[in-house]
Amino acid sequence: MALEKTFVMLKPDALQRGLYGEIISRLEAKGLKFRAAKMFRFTPQLCREHYAHHAGKPFFPKLVEFMCSAPVLALVLEGKDAVNQVRAMCGATDCGKAAPGTIRGDLGLSVQSNLIHASDSRETAEAEIARFFTKEEVTGYPRQAEKSVHSEDELK
Ligand code: IDP
Ligand code: MG
């Protein structure tokens, strides 16, 4: 199975609460390869595009306001089954219902301010990476740890 990429974003509450290190540590310790990272501030227009599938829902205007309230940190991470693995690490959307051991379950209480976004499918990941990063910004480099994180079969 080839390695896959996923798109992750640390939301404004993660920045305000000083939780970047904690969250990034978990993703790093999992074995995921960091391919790209960028901090930026959402415009309402770009945020509405990112969350277009939620347009019209009651929470949408407040979600856009929240996401634009401070910078976010966008990441591209790579690994075996990375999309599902990172979603599992995030936990349920509502931090109050997310299982202990997950990022949201351990670090949050809110539905809206739930610290992290992660792509929900390979197709979404591709679209989200392309929305926020140029091809050149997604770095490529040999990682020494690759053969310790994955078996040879998994790297094919
Ligand atoms: P996800 O981030 O777990 O994929 P989605 O259902 O795609 O969750 O919702 C996108 C984001 O919108 C959530 O991460 C959260 O910030 C916010 N959100 C979702 N549902 C609610 C809600 O019922 N109230 C307030 N905010 C919500
Ligand atoms: Mg979602």
Copy the structure tokens of residue 30: 């999992």
Ligand 1 atom 14: residue of nearest CA: 93
Q: Percent of the chain having pLDDT more than 70?
A: 99
pLDDT in tens, 102-126: 999 999 999 999 999 999 999 999 9
pLDDT in tens, 70-111: 999 999 999 999 999 999 999 999 999 999 999 999 999 999
Confidence of residue 1 (pLDDT cuts 50, 70, 90): low
Alpha-carbon torsion, ordered 7, 39, 107, 5, to 10 deg: 20
Q: What pLDDT, on the 0 to 100 scale, is given for residue 122?
A: 98
What is the side-by-side strand order in the sheet with 72-79?
33-40, 72-79, 4-10, 116-118
Give the ligand with the smallest distance to the CA of 66. 1
**Known active-site residue 150:** no
Ligand 1 atom 16: residue of nearest CA: 112
pLDDT in tens, 17-33: 999 999 999 999 999 99
The architecture (CATH level 2) of 3-134 comes to 2-Layer Sandwich (3.30)
Cα(118) to centroid(ligand 2), Å: 7
In the set 50, 53, 54, 117, the catalytic residue is 117
CA neighbor of 86 nearest in space, from 63, 127, 113, 115: 115
CA gap 50, 62 in Å, rounded: 14
Cα(150) to centroid(ligand 2), Å: 28
Q: Which pTM does this prediction carry?
A: 0.97
What are the structural domain ranges in the chain?
3-134
Give the ligand with the smallest distance to the CA of 13. 1
Q: What pLDDT, on the 0 to 100 scale, is given for residue 2?
A: 82
Please give the mean pLDDT across all residues of the chain: 97
